A and B are shown apart, each in its own frame.
Chain A
Amino acid sequence: MSFAELRTKIGYQGLLLGGVALFTSAALAIASHSTETDIRAAEAADLKQSLTQVLTGEYDNDLIKDTVTLPGLDGEVKVYRARHAGKVEAVVYRVVGHGYAGAIVCVMGVSREGKVLGVRIVSHKETPGLGDKIEPAKDKWIHSFEGKWLGDPPADKWLVKKDGGVFDQFAGATITPRAVVKAVKQGMDFFAENKVSLLDEAAAQGAKP
């Protein structure tokens, strides 16, 4: 039987497909294994960079490892804690706003006094040129949260100016900044509600008898 005839046999075709699947799976397994550590490291570096962007002041712990998970508005919130000499100085966590074109994921840093240290956008799908002014590279708007707390402006003024609040909106885009302001406000409420567990007060009091 010639090879051309063999190729038409269903058994050969099955074996061929199986062989190709086996070979490609092996290639993928090897690739996945050999890139895993590098990808983890790159993602950890990314995470750390995005966390330190919204922190000011000194801290001396590895904040990626010092986390606490609390129930928040949209499911569980993973909070990273920055400590100095064992005391939690600031916390960083994600908040999600619902913008014009889907979720706007932000990270925000809050000091132990409850002041916003910084807010950054992790990912969004807002319109380029209009809604994307929430990115610090395009506009300095995102810095307008820094130093704010729930007394300044008062809790009911955490809105864009169009809605009677204190935060600017952009020409041509109100939905995007409104969503970010709302998300940050929710983040502040989250901090106020969970202050004790966030700041790890119980442990701090236990440590100094």
Chain B
Amino acid sequence: MSGNYTRITRDGLWDNNIVFAQILGLCPTMAVTSSATNGLGMGLATTAVLLASNTIISSVRNLISPDVRIPVFIVLIATLVTLVDVSLNAWAHDLYKVLGLYIALIVANCAVLGRAEAFAAKVGVGEAALDGLMMGLGFTFALTLIGGIREVLGAGTLFANAHLLLGPAFAFLETTVVPDYKGFLLMILPPGGFMVLGFLLAAKRVMDQRRAARIAAAAA
């Protein structure tokens, strides 16, 4: 059983990462990753939704008729997203001004429905919750990485405005990597997102292939 949990963790964070392996949820990925902070904020909001939706759907999976499961999932997910939306608006208003437009997009993130349909509806609550958490953290990792690369190349900073997201204590994260940087506009615009994602996908493939080759060599 513990092997199963390890598998779920590995899948969520790396092997079956929402962005880098499943290539899902690209709409929010491209939209918000113009800075590392935005990516982190969107990732954490999505993680909260994924964790809650997986847990709830798994715990009521036996009550739901297979014939009407999709509308039930969608209504539950949409409700959770709306809850995140109003809570952020009320209690993290500065962050909401940055991310607000994109929070509603979490509903359209096919990864959330995908996990509900492909995983949470078939397994126990513990596994579903862990899967939601790990998929969410993998998504957060991917968004923060893409955002960080685009921000450094595009604006010369890293984690700008992090205090809006994490509180004043995290202002130390805000670094200017290249002082007096004139900016590389392409990276901030959508094409930059596609380019960075393309290079990262290629890099992940290379890493996975090398690892597979090492394992094959060790086995031989």
Write the residues of chain A forming the contact surface with B, with a CB cutoff of 8 angstroms: 3, 7-8, 12-13, 16-17, 20-21, 24, 27-28, 31-32, 35, 38-39, 42-43, 45-46, 127-130
Contacts and interface: CB of A to CB of B under 8 A. Distances in A.
Given A3-B62, A28-B82, A128-B188, 11 more contacts: A7-B66, A8-B65, A13-B65, A17-B72, A20-B75, A27-B79, A35-B91, A39-B86, A42-B89, A42-B93, A46-B93
Looking at chain B's contact residues, the main secondary structure is helix
Contacts of A24: 75-76, 78-79
B183 A129 contact: yes
A31 B66 contact: no
Contact of B68 (A3, A16, A43, A128): A16
B63 A16 contact: yes
Interface string B85-96: 011011101000
Nearest to B183: A129
Interface in B40-92: 62-68, 71-72, 75-76, 78-79, 82-83, 86-87, 89-91
B34 interface: yes
A35 B185 contact: no
Nearest to A130: B185
Contacts of A28: 79, 82-83
B189 interface: yes
Looking at chain A's contact residues, the main secondary structure is helix
B140 to A, nearest CB: 23
Nearest to A36: B90
A70 B91 CA distance: 34
Nearest to A43: B93
B64 A16 contact: yes
B185 A128 contact: yes
Q: Looking at chain B, what size class is its interface with the partner chain?
A: 20 to 34
A7 B66 CA distance: 8
Contact of B83 (A21, A27, A43): A27
Contacts of B64: 16
A21 B76 CA distance: 9
Contacts of A16: 63-65, 68, 72
Given A20-B72, A24-B75, A12 B65 contact: yes
A27 B79 CA distance: 8
A20 B34 contact: no
Nearest to B72: A20
B178 to A, nearest CB: 15
B65 A31 contact: no
A21 B71 CA distance: 10
A12 B89 CA distance: 37
Interface in B169-220: 183, 185, 188-189
B189 A128 contact: yes
A39 B183 CA distance: 35
Nearest to B77: A24
Contact of A38 (B72, B91, B188): B91
A129 B185 contact: yes
15 contacts: A7-B66, A13-B65, A17-B71, A17-B72, A20-B76, A21-B75, A24-B75, A24-B79, A31-B82, A31-B83, A39-B86, A42-B89, A46-B93, A127-B189, A128-B189
Contact of A31 (B68, B86, B185, B188): B86
Nearest to B62: A3
A35 B86 contact: yes
Q: Of residues B65, B72, B75, which shows the largest number of chain A Cβ atoms within 10 Å of its Cβ?
A: B65
